[in-house]
Structure formats: C-alpha cells, structure tokens
Structure 1
Amino acid sequence: MRRVIMLADGQSFYASVEKAAHPEYRDKPVAVGDPARKSGIILAACPIAKARGVTTAERVGEAQAKCPDLVVIRPRMATYIAVSLLITEIYESFTDQVEPYSIDEQFLDVTGSIALFGTAEEIARQIQTRVHLSTGVWSRVGIGPTKILAKMATDNFAKKRLEGIYTLSNDNIESDLWPLPVYRMFMVASRMSGHFMRMGIRTIGDIARLDLGEFKQRLRYRMGRQSDIQAEYYWQTARGIDPSPVVAGMRSQVKVINNGRALKWNLYKTIEDIEPLMIELVIEVCRRARKYGYMGRVIGVGAAETDGSRSFHFGRQMSLMRPTYLEHEVGSAVKKLFLEHWQGMPLTQLHITLTGLSGDETYQLDLFEDREKLIRCAKTIDAIKDRFGLTAMIRASSLQKTAQAFERAAQIGGHWA
C-alpha cells in the first residue's frame, strides 16, 4: 500500500504559545527572546511581527529598532515542551506512528487511519482544528508518500498557503517541486547551494533530471571522491526517494554526545577564565554519555576567538587509548587539545564532543586506578543530581565568576524554563 505521511509544523511555535497565554497581545507583534538582553537573539516571532520585518535569530535590539511596539517575552522552555507533548497526544489519537522531528515538527504515518478518519486532507484539517483549540497553535501540514516529500511540502508550500495544507506526490513533484531554486531543497544550506550554483545546477529539477552516475561524477570533480554518498543522498532527495519509515517515539541511536556555549568574548580572556566553563562542559558531556550508556574514544574541541579586529576558529579531534566517560580522562584530553590550538584571543564559543561511541557494558580495566570504583562514584553523583537538581553537587570551580553551572541549572536547552 502506498504510504501517506504527514509533517505537521507548529506556526511560530514559541510565539503562538505565548499569544495563547496572553490574550491581550492577540493583535500585537510578539517575539520570544530575553527582553533584558539587547544582544540576545529572537527565538520566534509571530506573523504580525514577521510582517513588520522581525526575523528569527536576529538580535533583540535590532528587532525592536524595526518594530518599536514589539512585545518581547522571555522564553519558557518547560511550557513549550509540555505543549509539544500535548500536541503529540493529539496526533496519537489519529495514528500510533508519530515521530517527533523537533519540538514543533512531527511526522505522522496515517496510511492505516484513512479508513477511519477520511482522506489525508480531511485528517490534516481535523488535526489543525484540534491542535488550535487545545493550544492556540496553528499547524501547517505537508503530505506525501515519503518523509522527505512531506517535509518539503510543509517547508515550501504549506507554510505559504492560507489553509496550511499541501500534498506533494509523484504526480506533481516535477511540476511543483523541481522548478524551485536548489537552496529550497531539504538539507541544502548556503555552502552546498554555492557548490551547486558553480556547477551550473540552479533548480531542484536540475539534480533530479541528471543520471545518478553523471551527478556523482560532477560532484566528485567539485568536492572529491568522498562526495559519492552526498551525491546519492541529494539525487534521491530531489526525486522524493526516502525509504525510511516513521518510527514512533524519539530516535534512540546516539552517534555523538556534545555540549557547547556561545560566550561573551570580553569575559573569557585567559585560561583561568576559560577553565571553569570547560570543566562544566566536560562534566555535562560525560553525564549524558553515562545516561545513554555509551563510552567514547574520540574527543573533539571546537572554539571561536576574537580580539575585536581578528577572528579565528578551530575544530580538532584526538583519539584516546580506550573509550571513556570519566571526567578526568575526558577533561585532560580536552584541555590538551585546546591549549595546542588556542591562539590566545578571548573566546566567543567553546564546544566539546564525544564520538567513536561504544556501549558501556564492557570496558578496559586499569592496573593503576580502580576504574570500576570511579564509574560507580560518577553514577552515584548522577543519581543525586537527577533527584535533587544539577546544583546538588558541583565542583568548586563552578563558584568562579566565569562558570555557568547555577545559571544553566535554571534553564532548559540554554533558555529559561
């Protein structure tokens, strides 16, 4: 049976939740961000604010300059997560095959639901009505036989239509999708779009109409032999080919564990300023690794620095002799990598990754330290933090002024709960 898949997206999700909570702002431009920080970014803007030039990811001060009567509301991540879970329950009343893609986007396979609830478009309208009545969030729904077509139907068509519903299928992919500029294809960012433009590829159809072998050859000439996998992915995407099923629940396979911060560059000038934050990042990465049940063998450090006139960024990796998720082992590798490549300028960003993951069911013992005891101790600390909060036990370094442990403990995903 031909699959019927939807990608439902909440319009201006954070802003819509706030407008539903504040009826007095119904006819006003609303954006979500930190009103106390002019240099902070706009996380979401309602359609009224967007019509006045406010854009997502621009600075709060810039948005207020464009729209003086803009209402900026501090984000409440715990509320947004709760609303997202409520929307998931509504979707699950139509099908048990619901796969969250982000906090405001979810895939639904309604192939088996059509006999009960009507056509795909009728199901989409029912979903829109129930979600809007329950949460105040208006949903845009893309429909297609594959996840990739449903996603592109939402992003390129449903979001631009008043009814917020659009079906992209094998019948209209050539007439509707292929004429679009190549940067409108899923997973084609500005850098890849530049490569395509220099290759003479300007539309999605330019890729779809090429023979796969020829496309691989052209991309290989531009980007090297390692580009064959990319070529096949983009060629299939342009044609709407995607065999992946909708998988109920969140994705379980973890390939990388990371943590990072964007920083105020004038605060992180010396290694004494940077190290407290570095330790906190290492602690959080190791804690997540233990939670997921993975040890990692490859440590990565990324950083951006500037002195106001010059800028530099780097990303480096090193392999350890054995997989680990112990803070002192990860931390020593992180500090070594950082000091080898840091130019000495104030930091604007610091990022740590743990890859080369393997299950923690087995691990290498050590003749010179009791690793089993160290792992039990680390997991005990994790359990205390899970029960009593992230600041129930902290390192002394987190009392330094450049540390962020107490501030981050009150946030979710880097934003206020």
Structure 2
Amino acid sequence: MHLDMDAFYAAVEQRDDPSLRGLPVVVGARPGGRGVVATCSYEARRFGIRSAMPIAEAYRRCPHAVYLRPRMAHYAAIARCIRRELDAISPLVEPVSIDEAFIDVSGLERLIGPPAAIGARAKRRIREACGLTASVGIGPNRLIAKLASEYHKPDGLTVVAPPEVQTFLDPQPVAVLRGVGPRTLPRLQRLGIQSVADLRRRSLTELQRHLGTRLAADLHAQAHGIAASAVAPQTPRKSVSKETTFAADQIDAALLHTRLRALAGEVAQTARAGGVAGGVVTLKVRYAGFVTHSRQRRLAAPTDSARVLLAEAWHLFEHSGLPQAPVRLIGVGLAALSPPASCSPPRQRDLFEAADAQERDGRLADTLDAVNTRFGDGALSFGLAGCAAAGGADADAGGSTSAPRDADPG
C-alpha cells in the first residue's frame, strides 16, 4: 500500500484555520521573492499552480491566493501523528517523505479484510486522529501502489489486483513511469511512444538502441508491471539540510550570519526530532548565474547543537576560499548521521547541584523544540547574537524571539 497525504502543508493550514477552506492556499516563499511553491491547495491548482513553481509565477497566475510561510516543525509533528496510525495497522511502514509512506499489508486480510478494507481503515484512522485526508493505492508492488494512490486524488482509494495490472497501466501516459523526465520524454515521443502500452509493445533491443542499456531495461520492466515490492522500515536518513534564497543578492555579513543562524536552528531541531546527530557540517552558497559552491567539515564528535552547527558553517563561509561576491542562496546541513552518543539514563539531580553547559543546552533545546512544534518555526530560538559574524564561541544561552525567515522550501 502507498499512502500519500493530500496537499499536506496546505491541508494542515486549512484544517488549523477553517476560514481558509475553499480558498486557494499557497505554502512557500513570499510573493516578491525568488523562492518556490512548497505545495498548494487543490483550489490553487485550478489556476495551474504546482509544487516547485517559482513563487513569482504562482502569484502571476493567482494574485488573490493566500500565501503562507511553511511551518515545518508543526508539519513534522503532524507527520508523527500519521505515522502512529500507520504503525497501528502494520509493523512494516517505510516513510519516503514527510507526507507519504509505503506499507506492507500482506497477511492483514485475516485481521482486517480485503485490500479495500485495509485502505479504508488507514484513511479513516488518519482522518479521525489527524483531521486530514489521504489518498491510498494498493497493488502487487511499489510502482503499482504509487500510481494507484495518484489515480483518484484527492481522498482516493484505488486497488489494483495482480490480474488487473496491465489493464491499469496501458492507457496511462508514459510520463507516469519512474525515470521518464524532461529529457527522456521527448526522446520517447519522437519514437511515437505516448502511452505505457506503446512502450510495452516495443522490444527491449529497440529501446536499448535509443535509451541505453540501463534505462531501457528499467522502463521495459515498468511497462510490464514489474517493480520492487519490498518495504524497508529502517531506511536511515543520510542528511538534514535547509537553505534560503534571498529576494536580492546579499553581501552584508550580518544579514548572512542571521539567516545562517535560523537555518542552523532548523537543521538542529530536525536532527533532534529524528534522534540523530551529524558528524559532518555542510555549507552551500549560490551566487549570480546559479554558480554554486559547497564546503564541508568533519567534526571531532557528532552534534545536534545549533550553536556548533552555526559556528562551523560560518567558519567555512569565511575561511574556505569562497568568492567575495553577493550571495543568492545560502544553506547548511548535517551529514554522516548517527544516534547521539551523549544519550544517558535520566537521574535525579541534587537540589543545589548546578547543571553543566551540555546538559543545560540540551534542556533548552528540548524546550525550544516543544515551543516551535506548537507555534511554528522561528517562534523561539537560541540567543546566538554572541556568535558574532566572526563566528565566536561564547554564545548567549538565553532564548529570543525571531521573525520568520524567507527560507526557500525544499
């Protein structure tokens, strides 16, 4: 089974604010900036707006839409609610993004009923527990389940039994197959291949001549309904990153440092929420003409600290030979993720015993995460003003409010 939430970010905003229901809602960058659409409601999609579209184009198509900034911590909390409901149905759940997952439902017929009943139960549990709709597809493998979940959006439920696979696939445009993108689609169309059925009728040898050995074999198998079926619940996350695109190229060090601070806070919070720490700090900087540079630095020990992340990223920015030119985009990330080594069982502290800096920071981080989960990203952040643009280590430990940043949603 593949479960995909319907316009997830926008649906959450409409759920939380009933006055937005029925209106075109766009979640992403602010109009006038250079970011993109993260997602949009189905009302907005009627105007041709779609995910990853430049926000300027979305605004041109629908200037009267409601434009909202993403609240990633809030969405992550709701995603955990969804995951709990899926775990209650099957022990084999593989999240593939914040709003979709594959679920192995084989063997559940005896407990729940036929595939349609299993899908209906998943949709009902999520609607009742989280107040949101999901589209579900069930099939003999991942490809068919994924295509089935897209077949009747929103709030759809499509079951494709093994004998029905070819009937389901053949009429669909060839662009639905994985690996058919902007470069491959025109090549297929020049061969007269418009539908999956057209592709299926071509020999593997002919496809290899035009597409190459690997891509031809993959598309040939998909056209015949052959794909992987394994669900891997323990697939580890490899990295966490956030980036921001500026409305105008920036060279002001204080502004760049402030944005990097906000991004470091988001990355650290995401890492803590996932129960991981990172051993490699990465920095991404894009200049005019989309010239992009990346730098990385390995740490002595893994971290989930916003302070450490900011200090290391700013050091890379200042001392790794980057061009001294206005910046279009800046981003920071953590890689080489692993469970934090500092996890130890809780103990009762003596009334007059002082907390060390590491424990104090951990307790502050837990509080910040709880506040931002409830009230949205940027509601509260570490007071890192002490980490001046030079990247000093003596940061203020207090909390401070901060205005939402113009992060480019990814």
TM-score range, shorter-chain basis?
0.5 to 0.7
The equivalent of 1:350 in structure 2 is: 330
Query: What is the letter of the counterpart of residue 349 of structure 1?
Result: L
Query: What is the letter of the counterpart of residue 226 of structure 2?
Result: I
Higher helix share: 1
Deviation at 1:145, TM superposition (A): 1.0
Deviation at 1:164, TM superposition (A): 1.3
User: Where does the alignment leave 5 or more consecutive residues of structure 1 unmatched?
Assistant: 1-5, 221-226, 362-376
Given candidates 304, 310, 318, the residue that maps to 2:286 is 304
The equivalent of 1:391 in structure 2 is: 382
Deviation at 1:274, TM superposition (A): 5.0
Given candidates 69, 86, 91, the residue that maps to 2:81 is 86
Q: Is the contact made by 1:29 and 1:70 (CA closer than 8 Å) also made in structure 2?
A: yes
Query: What is the letter of the counterpart of residue 260 of structure 1?
Result: E
RMSD: 4.8
Partners of 1:95 and 1:352 lie apart in 2 by: 36
Q: Is the contact made by 1:323 and 1:358 (CA closer than 8 Å) also made in structure 2?
A: no
The equivalent of 2:138 in structure 1 is: 143
Identity of aligned residues (%): 24
The equivalent of 2:27 in structure 1 is: 33
The equivalent of 1:8 in structure 2 is: 3
The equivalent of 2:352 in structure 1 is: none
User: Where does the alignment leave 5 or more consecutive residues of structure 2 unmatched?
Assistant: 341-355, 369-380, 392-398
Report whether the alignment pairs 1:313 with 2:298: no
Number of corresponding residues: 368
Q: Is the contact made by 1:15 and 1:45 (CA closer than 8 Å) also made in structure 2?
A: yes
Q: Indicate the SS of the match to 2:102.
A: strand
Query: What is the letter of the counterpart of residue 49 of structure 1?
Result: A
Report whether the alignment pairs 1:158 with 2:158: no
CA offset digits 1:142-189 (Å, max 9, x no partner): 11111222112222x1327xx712233543333332443332223533
Q: Is the contact made by 2:6 and 2:134 (CA closer than 8 Å) also made in structure 1?
A: yes
Given candidates 223, 230, 246, the residue that maps to 2:231 is 246
Deviation at 1:32, TM superposition (A): 4.1
Partners of 2:251 and 2:40 lie apart in 1 by: 34
Distance 1:112 1:56, change over 3 A: same
Q: Indicate the SS of the match to 2:95.
A: strand
Partners of 1:208 and 1:214 lie apart in 2 by: 11
Q: Map 1:288-299 onto structure 2 (within 5 A).
A: 292=276, 295-296=279-280
The equivalent of 1:111 in structure 2 is: 106
Partners of 1:414 and 1:172 lie apart in 2 by: 42
Deviation at 1:194, TM superposition (A): 4.2
Q: Is the contact made by 1:305 and 1:345 (CA closer than 8 Å) also made in structure 2?
A: yes
Distance 1:413 1:172, change over 3 A: farther
Distance 1:331 1:238, change over 3 A: farther
Q: Indicate the SS of the match to 1:263.
A: strand
Deviation at 1:10, TM superposition (A): 1.9
Q: Indicate the SS of the match to 2:148.
A: helix
Q: Is the contact made by 1:391 and 1:409 (CA closer than 8 Å) also made in structure 2?
A: no
Partners of 2:105 and 2:287 lie apart in 1 by: 48
Partners of 2:75 and 2:260 lie apart in 1 by: 29
Partners of 2:204 and 2:360 lie apart in 1 by: 53
Distance 1:131 1:200, change over 3 A: same
Greater mean alpha carbon deviation, residues 182-191 or residues 140-149: 182-191
Q: Indicate the SS of the match to 2:15.
A: helix
Deviation at 1:287, TM superposition (A): 9.9
Partners of 2:32 and 2:122 lie apart in 1 by: 37
The equivalent of 2:350 in structure 1 is: none
The structure showing larger relative contact order (alpha-carbon pairs under 8 Å, at least 6 residues apart) is 2
Report whether the alignment pairs 1:269 with 2:261: no
Q: Is the contact made by 1:10 and 1:140 (CA closer than 8 Å) also made in structure 2?
A: yes
